[in-house]
Structure 1
């Protein structure tokens, strides 16, 4: 089922356009992706010492993929692929 109009469609659209990108900005600010990239030498950013930063990016990926399943968004897809490249 794809939501295209109404209350929930509006919430999903807001999530895709504003909330998901805002969370990614915060994750980048806290070097969450850098923590993964450091493991294979692709980043020299300082290690983020906060607990469970890896689960934060996984939760973000779940939300982003859910949004993409409902409506295609080239920028969001690019960000998902970038995050997956950092993790894998």
Structure 2
């Protein structure tokens, strides 16, 4: 059985990516970490892909979905721009 079909490999990858997100913040690795965690849960439940390429496509789609959801939740807020009318040296 190939290693990429094991659920714990995906969960370990999710943990590594989440750790990278803590060290290098910016919501870059968090989408991939959530995608890997969801892929690990899918494999644990019993959903299996027929090949490595299909597994990577499912992982990519799950990561994209989690990134889009995070962008909606944590995205840029409107109306929070501070405009300065005077110079601090005046």
TM-score with structure 2 length normalisation?
0.28
Higher relative contact order (CA 8 A, sep 6+): 1
Q: Mark the structure with the bigger radius of gyration.
A: 2
TM-score with structure 1 length normalisation?
0.28
